[in-house]
Amino acid sequence: MDILRPLPQPTPEAKPYWDGLREDKLMLPRCRQCRRAFFYPRVLCPFCHASDIEWFQASGRGRLYSFEILHQQFNRAFKVKLPCVLAMVELEEGPRLLSNLVGVEPDPAKIRCDTPVEVVFEKLTDELTLPLFRPAGGGR
């Protein structure tokens, strides 16, 4: 990872995604031909290769598909407290998103795959907000 440019550099096809996050909305691209949602944003549908893409607001709900506890700072520019939970979240709409799981102890014994999760928006700068996830309902 390039530590000189710690913040994501939005590409034109991902602009609606970053714009949505600034307004606390998780936006996903969807193909108008086969109607499937996908992630990451790209100009062609990964399923049918159509270029007819639209954006919609996702529910922000999903489930924990897989996770990993991070103990080492992989990028000094990120001020995430360690250890933290790197999480692959499978959204209700289908796509998987790599994020962090928050609101839980970073203990593998206390985290279960398939746990329902919901998005929380973490504002980093005026330009950049990241979608993080927590157990649905704010945890138990």
Question: What is the closest distance, in whole angstroms, from the C-beta atom of residue 50 to Zn ion in the complex?
Answer: 5
17 and 25 in contact (C-beta within 8 Å)? no
Site membership for Zn ion, residue 113 (CB under 5 A): no
Nearest to 91 by CA among 118, 121, 55: 118
Task: Give alpha helix (H) positions in 12-87.
Answer: 15-22
List, in order, residues 6 or more apart from 90 with CB less than 8 Å away. 62, 63, 64, 65, 96
Amino acid of residue 130: L
Annotate each residue in 11-50 with x if it binds Zn ion (CB under 5 A) or - if it does not, as one string.
Answer: --------------------x-xx----------x-xx-x
Q: How far is the CB of 48 from Zn ion (least distance, A)?
A: 3
Q: Which residues in 50-69 contact Zn ion (CB under 5 A)?
A: 50
Q: Considering the complex, state which of residue 50 and residue 98 has its C-beta at the smaller distance from Zn ion.
A: 50
Least distance from C-beta 102 to Zn ion, angstroms? 33
Nearer to Zn ion, 48 or 82 (CB): 48
Is the peptide bond prior to 6 cis by the omega test (within 30 degrees of 0)?
no
CB of 33 to Zn ion, least distance (A): 5
Applying CB under 5 A, the site for Zn ion has a residue count of: 7
Query: Structure tokens of 49?
Result: 């290769």
Round to whole Å and give the CA distance between 100 and 86: 5
Q: Which residues bind Zn ion (CB under 5 A)?
A: 31, 33-34, 45, 47-48, 50
